[in-house]
Amino acid sequence: MKLEHTGLWARNAALIRTLTPGLIERITDTPRGEGVVDVKVETAASGEPTLVAGGMYVHSQRDPAREAARLAAACAGSGVIVALGFGLGYAVIAAAELCGNSRPVIIVEKRPEILKKAFETRDFTGFLAKNTVVCMIGGAEDAIFGALSLFSTGGGHKGGGDICIMRNRALVRLDEQWYAGVERRIRTWTTRETVNEATFTRFGARWARNFTQNAALSGCIGTYPGVSRLKGLLRHEIPVLLVAAGPSLDRIASLMPAFAERCAVVSVDTSLNYLIRAGVDPDWTVSGDPQYWNSRHLDRLSLTHTCLVTESAIYPLTLRYGKRTFLFATRLPHGKRIEEQVDPKGELGSGGSVATTAFDFCLELDPSVIFIAGLDLAFPHYKTHFKDAFFEKQANARATRLCPAETGSFRALRDGAPFYAAAANGGSVLTDTRLSLYAAWFENRLFSLSSVKASPDRKPVAVYSLSEEGLAIRGLETAGADAVLALPPRGADIRSLIRRAFERIERDFAAESGARRERLAAATGAGGSFAAGYDQEAGKNP
């Protein structure tokens, strides 16, 4: 390999080019002029190099290595190490060595000129060869989501443990707003995984009971096909309207029939009643909450068309609704193991809200564009849901003279730690920590979509929100109702395509029934180990 540099830079650059193509080019493409700080190397009292950036010492003037050992001692554990500000890398290397070079490392550095100076000053080949290292250099703070996702295993991080954040105080102070934005997104990512774990802790026993009852009553896994069979159904030719349950739905209720003539319609269970009252029976309704009260969203509705998209551990009553049913992979570990052996259903994302699962389902269909209605993730005009939602009916039914329905609305607004945040229309809107967490899931998912290059078999999909008064979500542009109404009416063609796909899937699924029964018997055993799995999972959550 011909190297254009010599010395330490040459050794570091040669290895980096083999490990991370393109990184060296980003480092050497250093911006010049306004905003670039002066970076120089001095010799510390210990004889080691130390860095000065923007007139501030980045490391100790006396002993950078000793300072790094002290910082590394606070980073014990087994999770991902995130270094906010790299400098000359003393603290990062010390932390990696302390952990036996077994933990992934994400280097977050705002300024490429600092990384360039580091690679010119110290030999990092041993560190880079022994550790899994990802560099995030400047750019949008959201890029940290992509870096963290590289080490995500669905239930935490590779190696387990919590994320360890190491801050170089001088470099963080130099670009305080940018580093604060990155750290805020790291906390959001960590909270999201904590919420997923807490969700299983809360509902694990309920999931296990539901799974066992569904297996006994309907055979669930062997009876219903998976959403993976719907993959690419719309062939990037048909738009999708995803209907969430925010209060902004009240403004567009009269337009829903016209929207349904132009789009395939995916509803969350919470908004199904709203659509039926508006005269629209959606093509798919997504339900994922295992509780009894959630099944009541579908109660007493006249459903002649909608296909239910749910999982095998849903509350059993839910499976009575819908003309057809498709399953996505259950979040119950025991059930997932059986599904993988019998008939893999297909994974859909879970961000704590059914809207996140429904959005992933829309992506699975491969539409030409996704319009999302009612994704407010906030309380515009202090409303929690659309008018006459099940929650509102329940509050009205329970209301008394001393505890009116408004009391429940007030508690819903108060109890989630509310705060004001930027709205999509440029103003501000009341939201809370739970809803902002869902927004972070969408931001992460949209960032992942934008970073994936188009391929012949998978073109990028545009996503628009029809709610301008909801919470601002980075990466999600807003569009008016006119954007949907401008599409050509083709309702009959859309329904015909969906119906033919259903018929084909049902034929294929029926043809595999014998083999599927054999796999189910092998997976559950002659004694029917559904119950054993129930006991095993429920025992974790008595």
Same domain, 382 and 525: yes
Is the residue at 542 inside a domain? no
Same domain, 435 and 335: yes
Distance CA 78, CA 524 (A): 35
**279 is written with which tokens?**
């005269």
Give the per-residue pLDDT at 25: 84
**Domains in the chain: how many in total?**
2
Over residues 342-395, the pLDDT tens digits come to 899 999 987 678 999 999 999 999 999 999 999 999 888 878 777 766 556 665
- Secondary structure class of 373 (helix, strand, coil): strand
Same domain, 95 and 168: yes
Say which residues have a Cβ less than 8 Å from residue 110's Cβ, sequence separation at least 6. Answer: 85, 137, 138, 171, 174, 175, 178, 179
Say which residues have a Cβ less than 8 Å from residue 103's Cβ, sequence separation at least 6. Answer: 77, 78, 79, 80, 81, 95, 96, 131, 159, 164
Give the per-residue pLDDT at 410: 60
Same domain, 117 and 261: no
**130 is written with which tokens?**
């022994």
Contacts of 488-497 with C-beta under 8 Å, sequence gap 24+, read: 488/262, 489/258, 489/261, 489/262, 490/238, 490/261, 490/262, 491/260, 491/261, 491/262, 494/238, 494/263, 494/264, 494/283, 495/283, 495/305, 497/233, 497/234, 497/238
Same domain, 283 and 425: yes
Same domain, 375 and 272: yes
Q: What percent of the chain has pLDDT over 90?
A: 42
Distance CA 129, CA 285 (A): 49
Is the residue at 363 inside a domain? yes
Is the residue at 368 inside a domain? yes
- Boundary-marking domain end, from 191, 211, 245: 191
Is the residue at 2 inside a domain? no
- Secondary structure class of 358 (helix, strand, coil): helix
Is the residue at 204 inside a domain? no
Q: What b/e sequence results for 150-172 when a residue is b if at least 16 CB atoms lie within 10 Å of its CB, and e otherwise?
A: ebeeeebbebeeebbbbbbebbb
Is the residue at 423 inside a domain? yes
Same domain, 427 and 505: yes
Helices (H), 163-175: 169-174
Instruction: Average the pLDDT over 28-47 and give the result.
Output: 79
Is the residue at 181 inside a domain? yes
Higher-confidence position of 117 and 100: 117
Same domain, 134 and 237: no
**348 is written with which tokens?**
């859909």
Distance CA 372, CA 369 (A): 10
Same domain, 104 and 239: no
- Boundary-marking domain end, from 148, 172, 191: 191
Q: Which residues span the domain enclosing 230?
A: 219-536
CA proximity to 54, closest of 133, 140, 134, 114: 114
**pLDDT band per the 50, 70, 90 thresholds, residue 211:** confident
Residue 94 maps to which CATH number? 3.40.50
**pLDDT band per the 50, 70, 90 thresholds, residue 154:** very low
Same domain, 138 and 27: yes
- What pTM does this model have? 0.71
Same domain, 44 and 161: yes
**523 is written with which tokens?**
């997976």
**pLDDT band per the 50, 70, 90 thresholds, residue 540:** very low
Is the residue at 120 inside a domain? yes
Helices and strands, number each (H, E), in the chain: 21, 17
- Boundary-marking domain end, from 173, 191, 209: 191
Same domain, 279 and 393: yes
